[in-house]
Amino acid sequence: MILHGYFRSSAAWRVRIALQLKGLTVEHRYQHLRKGEQLSPEYLAINPQGLLPSLILDDGAVLTQSLAICEYLDEQYPEPSLRPSDPVARARVRAFAQVIACDIHPVQNLRVLKALQARGQTQDDANVWARDVIDGGFDALETLVTGQTGPFAFGDTPTLADICLVPQMANARRFGVDLRWPRLSAIEAACLALPAFADTHPDLQPDAE
Residues that bind a copy of itself (CB under 8 A): 48-51, 57, 61, 63-65, 67-69, 71-72, 75-76, 87-88, 90-92, 94-95, 98-99, 101-103, 105-107, 112, 115-116, 119-121, 125, 129, 132, 137, 139-140, 143-144
C-alpha to C-alpha distance for 69 and 14, rounded to whole angstroms: 10
CA 91 to CA 98: how far, in whole Å? 10
184 vs 194 by CB, closer to a copy of itself: 184
Least spacing, CB of residue 95 vs a copy of itself, in Å = 4
Q: Which is nearer to a copy of itself, 51 or 166 (CB)?
A: 51
**Contact present, 22 and 70 (Cβ < 8 Å):** no
Q: How far is the CB of 24 from a copy of itself (least distance, A)?
A: 15
Complex with a copy of itself: residue 98 or 148, whichever CB lies closer: 98
Q: Are 12 and 19 contacting, i.e. CB atoms less than 8 angstroms apart?
A: no
Q: Which is nearer to a copy of itself, 24 or 91 (CB)?
A: 91
**How far is 6 from 29, CA to CA, in rounded Å?**
8
Closest CA to 171 of 117, 111, 130: 130
* Residue 171 C-beta: closest distance to a copy of itself, Å: 15
Structure letter (DSSP) for residue 100:
I
